[in-house]
Amino acid sequence: MREAAQRLMNRSASAAIQQAMDSLRGHAAKAAAPAQPAMRDINPPPNHAAPGPAPEPAPEAKAAPNPATHPAEFAQDMLNRMGIKVDLQANLDRAIDVGAFMHPTPEVALPEGAQFIKGSYTNHAGTRNYKLYIPASYHGQAMPLLVMLHGCTQNPDDFANGTQMNRLAEENECFVVYPEQTPNANQHKCWNWFNAIDQQHGQGEPSIIAGIAQQVIDEYPVNERQVYVAGLSAGGAMAVIVGTLYPELFAAVGVHSGLPFASAQDLPSALTAMKRGVMSPRKAGDGSQPIIVFHGDSDTTVNPRNGEQVIEQRLHDRHGKPSVQSGSVPNGHRYTQTTHTKSDGTPLGEHWVVHGAGHAWSGGSNSGTYTDAKGPDASREMLRFFRTVS
């Protein structure tokens, strides 16, 4: 059985599942309605639909469907054999919204004197473009730098619009850089947080993201003790990875609707982590890098357990009793904020659970995708936290 499981987890299996997902997305796109929901994500959400009759197990001697001619059936068969109860078709039907691909990101006017400029970085792992926001308040002084990692199907403009981080950069006098994932690296522009190569120092996408940050540091007067990384969904999972691998570069990490470090090594384990959380998340970092986590407790795309596990993984449970406070946004969501501190009282971690919120940036603007204006302002709170721990 172990041998069979190993065969199913190899590269060809992952490729077949990706092919199946792409095939299913094609069918879903043909049937998709033009209306665009308020919150959406390309990642397959956990299946909370009413359970139907369980499929009959295939006889031991029955061969798996041919991945070339029946990719969807092949992927579903593999997941069934691995004991992962995920209905790919049902999940993707819910997750795909073709309207998200059809509506261009609206242009937002910049304050006079501000710039939102394009750049590019290349190393041995590849090339990624990025956009750098230089606030009008910049006049040559050293300023903090925030690296923002978008979610699936997003781009720098969309993410900047939705999070309103550029507007806050004016108030807080900081640079913001938005690396952009390419369709060549991931068809749906997700950061590849579930690939083993992209969980290693000096390798893959983390090395490119760290390289982009370093390039901005080399070209502008960045305060190198105030460099941070944050992200949403796949970008949130990648922010955890980048912060863990490059603690000498990033002073703190912000995670919205993300997952723990190395929570998956391929697509099947990624689906499992998203649906259930991680069985036993391994320790990550030395427990000293501050982190702030936001997660909606009605998130059906990335289980809220992942937010809890990000905090547990990073802080190592070494610190004293946290303080807990609750609040609510007028005419919006309630939330619970749990703060972990160092022995001297300095905040080390914050975990915000937004009650009733789904898979969307809390307090964001509807000028971008994956946002929920009814929640506390995650962008403002992240910048406040970063200033506090610097």
Domain count, the chain: 2
- Tell me the average pLDDT of the chain: 80
* Residue environment code for 269-302, b if the CB has 16+ CB neighbours within 10 A, otherwise e: bbbbbbbebbeebeebbeeebbbbbbbbbebbbb
Does residue 187 sit in the same domain as residue 235?
Answer: yes
Q: Which amino acid makes up residue 319?
A: H
pLDDT of residue 345: 81
98 belongs to a structural domain = yes
108 belongs to a structural domain = no
Does residue 233 sit in the same domain as residue 302?
Answer: yes
Picking from 81, 102, 123, the residue at the C-terminal end of a domain is 102
Picking from 75, 102, 129, the residue at the C-terminal end of a domain is 102
Does residue 248 sit in the same domain as residue 224?
Answer: yes
Does residue 88 sit in the same domain as residue 227?
Answer: no
Does residue 67 sit in the same domain as residue 174?
Answer: no
Does residue 95 sit in the same domain as residue 130?
Answer: no
52 belongs to a structural domain = yes
194, 264 Cβ separation under 8 angstroms: yes
Residue 205 burial (CB count, 10 A): 25
pLDDT of residue 296: 97
Does residue 317 sit in the same domain as residue 342?
Answer: yes
Does residue 145 sit in the same domain as residue 173?
Answer: yes
107 belongs to a structural domain = no
Does residue 89 sit in the same domain as residue 206?
Answer: no
Residue 122 lies in domain: 115-389
Pairing of β 115-123 and β 291-296: unpaired
pLDDT of residue 318: 55
Does residue 186 sit in the same domain as residue 315?
Answer: yes
326 belongs to a structural domain = yes
pLDDT of residue 343: 80
109 belongs to a structural domain = no
How long a stretch of residues is the chain?
Answer: 390
141 belongs to a structural domain = yes
206, 242 Cβ separation under 8 angstroms: yes
The parts of the chain modelled with pLDDT lower than 70 are 1-108, 280-287, 316-320
Picking from 69, 102, 135, the residue at the C-terminal end of a domain is 102
